[in-house]
Amino acid sequence: MTLTDAVDFNRAVLARAYVRVVGVNREISWMLAEIFLPMLSVTAYIFLYRALGAPKMYEGLVVLGAAMIPFWLVVLWSMAMQFYWEKEMGNLDIYMASPTNPIALLLGMAIGGLVMGGLRSFAVLLVGLGVFRVELSVTSWPALVVAFVLTLSALFTMGMAAASVYFVTGRKGIKINIALMEPIYMLSGMFFPMKNMGRILGAVASIVPLSIGLDAIRQVTLPGMANLEFLPFKVELAILMVMTVVFGVLALKLMARMERKGKTEGTLTEKWL
């Protein structure tokens, strides 16, 4: 990649991200819904813990989990489904016939999603801290930042890899996506510590970077996590790093394969409906 290539790539990423953010914000009610929704589920589970007379720390656990939901939704809906949507909307051939790398399109969606997801996540934290008086105490900010960044990078590379897979599965992809929402909330320990699922289910759950990432983030923000952690903090960081690399390579490979297969079979731009 030359310097001009890199500049062009950036330009494409930013343009896509810009359009995504502006597009969402243009519909006020939409934005409200996006911010409002994740808060409701937090609230429900906090009340459940209260009904059970659980320690205050458990509520912090829920708030952190819910604060990560928006990023997972970005992966699921903005990234994994992207090629498929674009094809259905008749944009994919325009993208593919342009000199830009399809990765730029996905990264653009990721960054746009990061802005939106960040906003929603922030809203959840505000409600958690302000209304429910949840107590978080960050033991090490650098550790938190590293854990968060690694979680996102593993998530987003996973989203990119999924984009090619979903492109091929088409309408089934949407169904899979919908079917995966709550199971992933469950498996990633969004509302209870991952350790609680036991080793076997925990190992299965670790395939989703969200689970490990969330566990790592909780370890450096919740004082009471000391004996509830799934794996040691540093091990979790290492796993996230490996995942980023593996999913990244996989994404590139799958994307090239998708294009090759689509061009051979003539399905690259053919719509389902």
Partner 1 sequence: MTADDTPIAEKPAVPRDNLARREIIGGLRNAMWVGWQMESNWTKTWIYFLYAATRPLALCLIIFFIFKFAGNRPGAQTQFLSTYVGNAFFTIFIAVASGISWVVIQDREHYRIIRYIYATPMPFWIYIVGRATVVLAISLVSLAIILTFGNLALGLGAPFSRIDWAVLIPSTVLGIVSAASLGLMFAGVCLVTARHSILMAEGAGAVFLLTCGVIYPLEVLPGWAAAIGKVLPMTYWIELVRRSFGGYNFTPTLADLSTKGTLLGLSVLTVAFALLAFRWFKFAEDRAKKTGQLDMTTNY
Partner 2 sequence: MPPAILTKNLRREFQKKGKTKHVALDGVDIEVEPGEIFGFLGPNGAGKTTLIKILCTLLYPSGGEAYVDGLDVVKDTREVRRRIAIVSGGEQSGYGIMTVFENIWMFSQFYGIPSKIAKDRIWHYLKAFGLEKDAHTKVSKLSTGMRQKMNIIRGFVTDPKIFFLDEPTLGLDVHIAREVRDTIRNWTTDHPDKTVFLTTHYMAEAEALCDRIAIIDGGKIVECDTPANIREKVGGGAVYHLKLEPVPPDLSFLDAIPAVRNPVLADANEATGQCEVRFNLDSDDQLSHVLQAAETRGFRVAGFAKAEPALEDLFMTIVGRKLRDEE
Cβ distance to ligand ADP smaller for residue 175 or 263 = 263
Tell which one of 50, 257, 263, 271 touches partner 1 (CB under 8 A): 50
User: Phi/psi zone of residue 271: left (φ > 0), alpha (ψ -120 to 50 degrees), beta?
Assistant: beta
CA distance 213 to 227: 17
**Judged by CB under 8 A, does residue 125 bind partner 1?**
no
CA distance 105 to 116: 17
Cβ distance to partner 1 smaller for residue 47 or 122 = 47
CA distance 194 to 142: 23
Query: Of 42-50, 98-106, 114-122, 256-264, which part binds partner 1 (CB under 8 A)?
Result: 42-50
Tell which one of 4, 29, 227, 264 touches partner 1 (CB under 8 A): 29
Cβ distance to partner 2 smaller for residue 60 or 112 = 112
Interface pattern 57-96 for partner 2 (x via CB under 8 A) = --------------------------------xxx-xxxx
**Judged by CB under 8 A, does residue 4 bind partner 2?**
yes
Residue 263 binding result from partner 2, partner 1, ligand ADP, none, given CB thresholds of 5 to 8 Å by partner type: partner 2
Least distance (Å) between residue 175 CB and ligand ADP: 23
**Judged by CB under 8 A, does residue 269 bind partner 2?**
yes
| Binding site residues, ligand ADP, CB under 6 A | 266, 270
Interface pattern 74-93 for partner 1 (x via CB under 8 A) = ---------------x----
Least distance (Å) between residue 12 CB and partner 2: 5
**Judged by CB under 8 A, does residue 12 bind partner 2?**
yes
- In sequence order, what DSSP letters do the residues of the chain get, joined into one string? --HHHHHHHHHHHHHHHHHHHHHHHHSHHHHHHHHHHHHHHHHHHHHHHHHTT--HHHHHHHHHHHHHHHHHHIIIIIIITHHHHHHHHT-HHHHHTSSS-HHHHHHHHHHHHHHHHHHHHHHHHHHHHHTS------S-HHHHHHHHHHHHHHHHHHHHHHHHHHHHHTHHHHHHHHHHHHHHHHHTTSSS-GGGGHHHHHHHHTTSHHHHHHHHHHHHH-GGGTTT-SS-HHHHHHHHHHHHHHHHHHHHHHHHHHHHHHHHHT-SS----
Region 101-120 residues binding partner 2, contact defined as CB under 8 A: 104
Q: Name the residues that contact partner 1, by CB under 8 A.
A: 20, 23-24, 27, 29-30, 33-34, 36-37, 40-41, 43-45, 47-54, 58, 89, 171-172, 175, 178-179, 181-183, 185-186, 189-193, 196-197, 273
